[in-house]
Amino acid sequence: MRPCILAGSRPGDTVLDPFAGSGTTGAVAAQEGRDFIGIEINPDYCEIIRQRLDACCQKEATHESRTI
């Protein structure tokens, strides 16, 4: 997934995933400095995505605060 996001977007771009599943695309997009819009019909998966992105963003925020 990472190679596709890196090849198809630049930092600050928005990545759209109309079938977000467990949020892999969103997690990689966040790690690579992209915004993310995910569409998922299954509410169970929506909760998984929410938790995954929260963990990813917390990890990024911790990393950023250490490098400043």
Tens of pLDDT along 2-49? 999 999 999 999 999 999 999 999 999 999 999 999 999 999 999 999
Report the pLDDT value the prediction gives residue 56, as an integer from 0 to 100. Answer: 83
Cβ partners under 8 Å of residue 39, min gap 6:
16, 17, 18, 19, 20
Q: Which residue has the tokens 């299954």?
A: 42
> What stretch of H or E contains 11?
none
| pTM for the predicted model, two decimal places | 0.79
| Helix axes of 24-31 and 43-67: crossing angle, nearest 10 degrees | 20
47 residue type, one letter: E
Report the pLDDT value the prediction gives residue 61, as an integer from 0 to 100. Answer: 57
